[in-house]
Structure 1
Amino acid sequence: MTLFIPSGQNGEHLFVVVLGPKIVPGYQSEDQFLIVPICSAIPGKTHECPLHPGCHPFVRHESYADFAYADIRNKIDLISKITTGVFRDGGTSIDSETLENIEKSLNRSRRVPRFIKRDFLSI
């Protein structure tokens, strides 16, 4: 699943639901999901998880999964924000090969916030 989440004054940012649903101790009792933003690649910079045009209709140029801004969201919050129009359904899932690449890179990345490694990835 992909989502567009508000960013800046009038923009939206593409996020991929990478993992979940999962019950996470210390969080609300609902299922939790790990979401990761997709950002435009910076020319000349090496990215841990590069993504190529076409892996999602919105990805039209070289991009990457930015693990530094990964977040944990609960099911009720996601559904509520999609229903009220705060978040927008991305319409198309990212292709399975790309999703698998994101999952593998996530486990190796040093940019993943500590709370995600501790609370979500260690379960």
Structure 2
Amino acid sequence: MKLFLPLKKATILVPSGPVHDINRKHLFVILANHPTGDTPESSVLLVSVSSIKPEIPYDNACVLRPGDHPFIKHDSFVVYARARIENTNAILRGVNDGKLIPQEPMSQPVFDRICTGLTVSIHTPRNIRDFFEVLNKRAVTSTRIIS
């Protein structure tokens, strides 16, 4: 079994199909991880990816194409409206139980596009945007201190 670390750029398949298709899974990308501090436990920020369907509106803040990630076979979009903050231990339990399936990490250029989309999408919930911005400021500050 491969070691899975719930850090930025990590991707997992999450069961998210409708009642008639309970085995359907969507690709989720970890955009930020919060190791300690303001929350009682560590947490991660996740966004999901969904296929673009003809004549159904979608958030075009970040469109992904086949080749952007091995799991993506059709033009897809990041569903910022359903972004969520999850407990890191719950993610690890899901992986260990086989309910969540780790995939290849997102490449840096595609990850950067997804992060930019989160900041510009009108569909990103305020609490998600705030969580992301706070963690990015901490990451920049940590980098400056280390440099």
TM-score range, shorter chain: 0.7 to 0.9
Task: Give the aligned partner of residue 38 of structure 1.
Answer: 49
CA contact (8 A) 2:32 2:132 kept: no
Once the two structures are superposed, residues 15-68 of structure 1 have per-residue CA deviations (whole angstroms, 9 ceiling, x without a partner) of: 01111235463x3x2221111001112336561111111111110111111101
Superposed, which structure 2 residues align to 1:63-102 within 5 Å?
Answer: 63-90=76-103, 92-102=104-114
Task: Give the number of equivalent residue pairs.
Answer: 119
Q: State the Cα distance separating 1:122 from its structure 2 match.
A: 4.1
CA contact (8 A) 1:24 1:32 kept: no
TM score, norm. by length of structure 1? 0.86
- Note if 1:51 corresponds to 2:64: yes
Bigger helix share = 2
What is the alpha-carbon distance in structure 1 between the residues aligned to residue 125 and residue 53 of structure 2? 21
| Unpaired segments ≥5 residues, structure 1 | none
CA contact (8 A) 1:38 1:65 kept: yes
* Cα distance change of structure 1 residues 61 and 24 upon mapping to structure 2, 3 Å threshold: farther
Task: Give the aligned partner of residue 19 of structure 1.
Answer: 32
Task: Give the aligned partner of residue 2 of structure 1.
Answer: 11
- The CA RMSD over aligned residues, in Å, is 1.8
TM score, norm. by length of structure 2? 0.73
* Identity fraction in percent: 29
Question: Which one has a bigger Cα radius of gyration?
Answer: 2
| Unpaired segments ≥5 residues, structure 2 | 1-9, 135-147
List 4+ stretches of structure 1 deviating above 2 A.
21-25, 42-46
Q: Relative contact order (C-alpha < 8 Å, sep 6+): which is higher?
A: 1
* Cα distance change of structure 1 residues 104 and 22 upon mapping to structure 2, 3 Å threshold: farther
